[in-house]
Structure 1
């Protein structure tokens, strides 16, 4: 024990230069005694710290270089895990993970001692195992043993077998829980004491390895710890909002004594989750993981919904740990009416802007189209009224301005033109269309009447040569002329 303490005192100098030793707080020290030539993994997890945004980095004393994250190497960091594929003799030593979050630094120390590979241990053999490898069965009760083979998600474990005193365990009193890696023992007796072994096949990146876990089992007639029961910290009989069709993972967090033999599992409608959904496998119970502390263990076992469906709502999903139980109920999310309102207003504003842009570009085409579609026929009248109506339909004064060299003296001497301009300017009974055949640079040399018409009505400018395309009614010039002309009216149909 003194040797371990001395090594831990020296670990502080192995920290990277940007981490001060006095800023890091030691959380726990753990001893691990795995066998050589088999995979081994350890998860650096401390829920109050690693559940949020925390940076986890692994080191081996006295190196200041972090453990590689390249999965092609034999030893590498996988998420929060340190993974050995497989262990070698030279891997013995002290490892530490540094947990950095916000303004604090924490450390977990692992004293790793690699033992020689042992397939099984006979009943009378004495093996110096850590507390994690020692378990207790209670006489006269239905109890269980746990195979602590904990690896990251990148590793797949299957084909788990149990042995006792070098012989494979068989019989009606024993039942295998492969997914939970447990061995149930009915009606425990003193004969169940001994050396146990669980062995499994591990597959990682296409390679297969053999991995095993030794357990020394004692039996007792005492319940231990004065009847202390497990504490489930989550769930808390609460509700969880989940979108229909979404994927959901919920953890069950449990604090229990170190030598407990409680089963930890999920159920729905008083049935094990894996049995209730054995056909669809849409909802599955995850693998149990744990972290050991000086006086207790912290367990986590999750439940995964690959796709939330309507039948999952309003049913309690219960986490069990011995005699303790807690549940959660799924609920559909409450509609966000504010989001719908904001989305509707934004959509309306977008449509309004789009309409305004289209109108500003095609306003003449829209006006001409409206005139051609929505025209109401008038009623029949007398001949004088018809003539008067026809005159009104034609009452547009078109003034064509040609080259300035022609001058406007002629306009001053022609009585018809003067009368037309008088009616247009004074009586305001005739609309004027001013057409520029050529661009007029200076209107000050023109009669005041023309200047006034230009200021009041503007002008339509002709540009380009006279070609077949320019005479087309769909060109911009002719559209403007048509727009300035009075709307076309149709005579009403005659009555019998």
Structure 2
């Protein structure tokens, strides 16, 4: 449409905005070039466009104009009644006939109005018998062009109704040999690669489409005039992509730009650029998130972008083609998508994460199973290995002794019964317990001092009453033991017969040792002599004891 026509239409809309609703502006009188004529064959599908549709969006966007209504009239008076699925129906601003019959011939008026605005325009339709002209149109008002791109208006009209419509081309009423290689089919156009004077003539596209289960035909014609012969100069050339591979992550939005040199053909300035996906036009491809956008055409180059709003896995490996055509030749660039390769940094981060996870898991596992691991190691690596430290005893047992021999305490029972039963009887340790193992008539102080020096561990048994109560006293034995523990750094095992809450009555040396290494709390039943040697308590005691000399099977049975 000429630029001056757009300006004039806008002016008419603004003037018509303030016209009385009953005094419609007849654009056919003021602008007769807007009126159109349509020719069709009996039984063909027809689509009449209301030319006012190009102005309706502007006029109805004014604040005073809302809710515009479109009405069609036949021969100025009869209102066209349209219903869904009927032979004549409305599609937006268009009137469709499925099919048209000779009785439909006449002048159709499309009228757009609301409470403050009204405009109308006439469209002429002539329906002729189907066999009169067959596959070409003799009418004088067919489209006239002088470019190598021949449009198929019928395909453009019905593409929204049937995207799978079929197009057959005819030149001067004869089938066009598309396979000769000089033609490129577009979704709704025919492109001639090498335009010569012999290409002049009448081109008709015959469209077969389906609507509501039935097949219809429609057609449109174009008269091609050749102004000058073509002269070979430079063919088009793809700048990017020539044969490229692009990394794209799933879900990402990418913009692929195709840039090409358009070449030069004397007498022709037409150039065509478009994208194909898997040898299919964007309009026909079943992926709804593809969009083709022309960016620029300047300095003898043209650039068109293919926008993928969200990459999906099924696009990997598919061939994307950028096609550029001038009147001389065609050039094609290829592009493929592939998943992004993990970077070296990503590999490094993953490796560090795995290493950190394994290290933390190993530390946590060892912390949780440390005692069992150490005991298993001893059972495997210290079998019957004699000690070379010159010590005679594995542990010296210190416990609060009752002054009243007729009333033994819990400590007496644990130290003299339970402890030897497990450590000596089942684990193979050798203990020294004063009051049980000292030679008769020997000096107590010398025996205690020498025996402690000949022991590898000191076992202190702690009771809730500490060392000072009515039945127990802190003897010289404890003093010597604590001295060796603090001065010689002899390893000490502190066993609480019950969970102790108050250590106020205990010596500072005991408090120091407890704070330094902690205690092992007895949770068993003192009345039960046959204790489980592989219980958690005894595992902790054995963990703090030196390795024993039992054979492998006996040691492993205790783990």
TM-score with structure 1 setting the length: 0.54
Please point out which of 351, 356, 360 is paired with 1:353. 360
- Which of these residues, 186, 193, 209, is aligned with residue 201 of structure 1? 209
* Partner residue in 2 for 1:48: none
Shift of 1:164: 5.2
- Whether the 8 Å CA contact 2:258–2:305 is kept in 1: the answer is yes
Q: Which runs of 5+ in 2 are unaligned?
A: 17-33, 50-54, 69-82, 85-89, 97-107, 113-120, 284-291, 397-428, 431-455, 553-559
Give the corresponding residue for 2:522: 462
Residues 318, 201 of structure 1: CA spacing in aligned structure 2 closer, same or farther, 3 A cutoff? closer
Q: Residue 260 of structure 1: CA displacement?
A: 6.9
Give 1:88's aligned residue: 95
1:124 to 114, 122, 138: 138
Residue 173 of structure 1 deviates from its aligned partner by 8.6
CA contact (8 A) 1:33 1:113 kept: no
Quote how far apart the aligned CAs of 1:202 are. Answer: 5.6
Aligned residue number for residue 216 of structure 1 = 222
Aligned residue among 159, 169, 179 for 1:162: 169
Judged with a 3 Å threshold, the aligned counterparts in structure 2 of structure 1 residues 207 and 325 are, in CA distance, closer, same or farther, namely same
Say if 1:357 and 1:174 are closer, same or farther in 2 by CA, change over 3 A.
same
Q: What residue in structure 1 maps to residue 493 of structure 2?
A: 433
Q: Deviations over 1:249-297 (max 9, x none)?
A: 967577799987878789xxxxxx9xxxxxxxx9424258898x9x99x
Query: What does the per-residue CA deviation read over 1:33-82, in whole Å, with 9 as the maximum and x for residues that have no partner?
Result: 999965799xxxxxxxxxxxxxxxx9724223799xxxxx99xxxxxxxx
Which has the greater radius of gyration? 2
Q: What is the alpha-carbon distance in structure 1 between the residues aligned to residue 109 and residue 343 of structure 2?
A: 55
The structure 2 residue matched to 1:63, chosen from 35, 60, 63, is 60
Structure 1 pair 284/368, CA: closer, same or farther in 2 (3 Å)? farther
The alpha-carbon deviation at position 214 of structure 1 amounts to 1.9
Q: Is the 8 A contact 1:318 1:328 kept in 2?
A: no
CA distance in 1, matches of 2:167, 2:207: 6
The residue number in structure 2 matching 1:375 is 382
Corresponding position of 1:279: none
Aligned residue number for residue 9 of structure 2: 7
Asked if the contact 1:435–1:460 (Cα under 8 Å) also holds between the matched residues in 2, the reply is: yes
For 2:457, the equivalent position in structure 1 comes to 396
Deviation at 1:418, TM superposition (A): 5.1
Change over 3 Å in CA distance of 1:461–1:390 after alignment to 2: closer
Which has the higher mean CA deviation after the structures are superposed, 474-483 or 227-236?
A: 227-236
Instruction: Give 1:325's match in structure 2, choosing from 284, 309, 331.
Output: 331
| Partner Cα distance (2:548, 2:14) in 1 | 97
- Cα separation, 2, equivalents of 1:440 and 1:195: 107
Match status 1:488 vs 2:548: yes
- Name the CA shift for 1:370/1:397 in 2 (closer, same or farther; >3 Å): same
CA distance in 2, matches of 1:229, 1:463: 98
Partners of 2:527 and 2:184 in 1: CA distance = 92
Deviation at 1:125, TM superposition (A): 1.2
Checking the alignment, whether the CA contact within 8 Å between 1:264 and 1:319 is kept in structure 2 is yes
Q: 1:346 to 1:299 in 2, by over 3 A?
A: closer
1:336 to 343, 346, 365: 343
Are residues 1:450 and 2:457 paired? no
Q: CA deviation at 1:199?
A: 0.9
Alignment equivalent of 1:284, drawn from 272, 279, 286? 279
* Compared CA separation, residues 345 and 171, structure 1 to 2 (3 A): closer
Is the alpha carbon distance of 1:364 and 1:194 closer, same or farther for their aligned partners in structure 2, counting shifts above 3 Å?
same
What TM-score comes out, normalization by structure 2 length? 0.50
Give CA deviations for 1:89-135 in whole Å, capped at 9, x if unaligned: 899699xxxxxxxxxxxxxxxxx996648687855312264x6xx35
**Cα deviation 1:298-344 (Å, max 9, x = unaligned):** 8969899966559x89xx98754443636356697676222222332
Paired with 1:373 and 1:306, the residues of 2 have a C-alpha distance of: 58
In structure 1, the gaps of 5 or more residues are 15-29, 42-57, 68-72, 75-82, 95-111, 138-143, 267-272, 274-281
Shift of 1:198: 3.1
Distance in 1 (CA, whole Å) between partners of 2:489 and 2:240 is 85
1:164-189 Cα deviation digits (max 9, x unpaired): 56x56266997886676648799977
CA apart distance, 1:480 = 2.6
> For 2:237 and 2:175, how far apart are their aligned partners in 1?
32
